[in-house]
Structure 1
């Protein structure tokens, strides 16, 4: 599964370089922002990070194709033959970047047989660096040293995470469904939410509004290796990637502790009532 891959240190350095490029733009304070076809913003920071990641991966793993939010998306006729590929979001949380709240990340995932098997998430403004993968453990790098992370058990309290723009309705619904728990809610941008659950600093993140595959894959690899799950909210099966023409995720549930089967109470059919 991890054969023919460069050392993890090379990949971490590449992601750090992309984050450094983002911070160079961030510190300039004024950005030329454009709107893409879907009306989402793109900045010089997105494009600089994309350039570094694409060039670096092209050197490190020239035989592995790349799917990136900020590059041309290959047609489904080409993608459906891929068994292994890199999935990247050079700047996850562009709106957070524009609002200067620091909650943006570089996401790099290796997908193998539709499953994330390696993920790196770097939040350069917060110096928060996470990585993990199948049989590799889940880690947070602090002061240059790796520290293992794992999800925590849920007892009587649930720390719920929501996105900054789409979270109110979901938070209210969760509080109703989990009325036997004390639910505390925090809003946060980007895939940092999944990394906090992987680190045992939060418990739950339901998302019913649209996201794209590059928003979740890297953090899913980390979360799963840390003991959590990222599940389709309709089927309760793990999210899979590159299974169709569209790159939009289904509604999903990220959960750190599955021992209480809370995911069954949060399925779309009950969640939307």
Structure 2
């Protein structure tokens, strides 16, 4: 009941932030800078961050917030938090700058170290993906709401792999046990590619390189409630709020949790990409 009461206000906050991002995107009225890790950040990220933090602080004043665009509380102070908000005010800043439109707002509630509620809003398409633990995953476009499930993939079918618009393809090809019968689907934004898996439009997404826990928090519960899973590159579970930085290892988003993914994708030593 607690999660279900939060869902609609969180969806509203994501849509409000997304609407502001879309207005700034269309007008081109934003400034761009570079972070210490060389990734881009814009004034639009900061505006969306303020909107979401204000709305969540009003909704749940006693629940702390971790955001990609805010000061990171030291691990010693946060490691025992029973629950916290984990947000990325704009996942896909590079796509925003590059004018592809493939960027999204990401909001998750993490409880006892595991994502329990997730909302992803895609302003360009006016699409909302969301899930609460134990209640299924859904896609909302305007007033139409549909429950989503991963693709019923069978070994031997064409494997549909979500890939980045801006990263080389060969490292992904190298991870496949068999390069035959593979189709690649390009899309920006880490969270939007993961949502392709959740709604059955792709079968897996192999992420190499730096990401933060805010890139997986919301989609983690959405993908799992849709019947898939997210694991690191050694097929182990991801963890949340257990490291000084909130950097993820390389990870894989996989549909149809029951199929033998290790027959399709090579295991490899986990690279800890400590994105701060």
Q: TM-score range by the shorter chain?
A: over 0.9
1:248 maps onto 2:226 in alignment: no
How far residue 267 of structure 1 moved from its aligned partner, in angstroms, is: 4.3
Query: Equivalents in 2 of 1:163, 1:83: separation in Å?
Result: 34
1:158 counterpart = 2:159 = yes
Please report how far the alpha carbon of residue 167 of structure 1 lies from its aligned counterpart in structure 2 after TM superposition: 4.4
Q: Could you say which residue in structure 1 is the equivalent of 2:28?
A: 29
Moved more, 30-39 or 202-211: 30-39
- Gaps in structure 1 of 5+ consecutive residues: none
Aligned position for 2:178 = 178
SS, match of residue 269 in structure 1: coil
CA positional deviation for 1:146 = 1.8
Corresponding position: 1:196 with 2:204: no
* Structure 2 residue runs without a partner (length 5+): 272-276
Q: CA deviation at 1:223?
A: 0.4
Task: Check the 8 A contact 2:75/2:242 in 1, yes or no.
Answer: no
Please tell me whether the aligned partners of residues 6 and 61 of structure 1 are also in contact (alpha carbons under 8 angstroms): no
Structure 1 contact 5–61 (Cα < 8 Å) conserved: no
Residue 107 of structure 2 is aligned to residue 95 of structure 1: no
Q: How does 1:210-249 map to 2 (within 5 A)?
A: 210-234=210-234, 236-249=235-248
CA contact (8 A) 2:185 2:202 kept: no
Decide whether aligned partners of structure 1 residues 148 and 44 sit closer, same or farther in structure 2, where only a CA change above 3 A counts. same
Provide the secondary structure at the position in 2 that maps to 1:240.
coil
CA RMSD after TM alignment: 2.0
The TM-score with structure 1 as length reference comes to 0.92
Residue 80 to residue 87, structure 1, CA distance change in 2 (3 Å): same
Check whether the contact 2:95–2:102 (CA below 8 A) recurs between aligned residues: yes
Q: What displacement does 1:142 show?
A: 1.8
C-alpha distance 263-62 of structure 1, shift in aligned 2 (>3 A): farther
Query: Which residue number corresponds to residue 18 of structure 1?
Result: 17
Q: How many residues matched? A: 268
Q: Deviations over 1:109-164 (max 9, x none)?
A: 01111111110000101212100121121000022232100001113111001222
